[in-house]
Amino acid sequence: MRIIGLIVLIFILIKAAALLFAPFMLAFMAAKKALCHMDEKKWMEYLGRLTHAGFAVRFFLIYLVPMVIVSALGYLLFALFGYENPLGLAALTFAVGMLLSLWQIFRHKQELITQLGRIQAGQAPEEEDAPAAKKGRRK
């Protein structure tokens, strides 16, 4: 039963990092806006220059912050619940979280490229083409 509890705890921590990603992304954008005095025109220029690889690098750099936070929280929880080697389990949580996000990006690569292309062209991304919208809608 301890192994099931461990797996569930790691899963919850990874989901918590995914939930924390949005506020960190918004904070990044707010900081960029304040530091670079971004207006709509500058945002469009910035997004127009952003390559797919540049987008991926920024995504992972921003995603590192919530993953580090939940991994540190995981360390405390693993120690509290009496698991052996809580530091190793926290590192495992971090590695699994990063690998799962990488897998999700590769899994939805074409949809992400399409949405990024629309943003770079100055169009709003269409909701019905978003992967989460496709899965969540029932007809």
Q: What are the helix and strand counts (H, E) for the chain?
A: 6, 0
SS3 2: helix
Q: Could you read off the pLDDT of 23-38 as tens digits, one per residue? A: 999 999 899 899 989 8
- Per-residue CA distances from 42 to 20, 50, 52, 114, 128 (Å): 27, 12, 19, 21, 27
Lowest mean pLDDT among 26-30, 95-99, 113-117, 122-126: 122-126
Provide the residue ranges of all domains of the chain, joining segments of one domain with +: 2-124
**Which has more pLDDT, 124 or 93?**
93
Sequence-distant (≥ 6) Cβ neighbours of residue 126 within 8 angstroms: 118
Lowest mean pLDDT among 25-34, 97-106, 114-123: 114-123
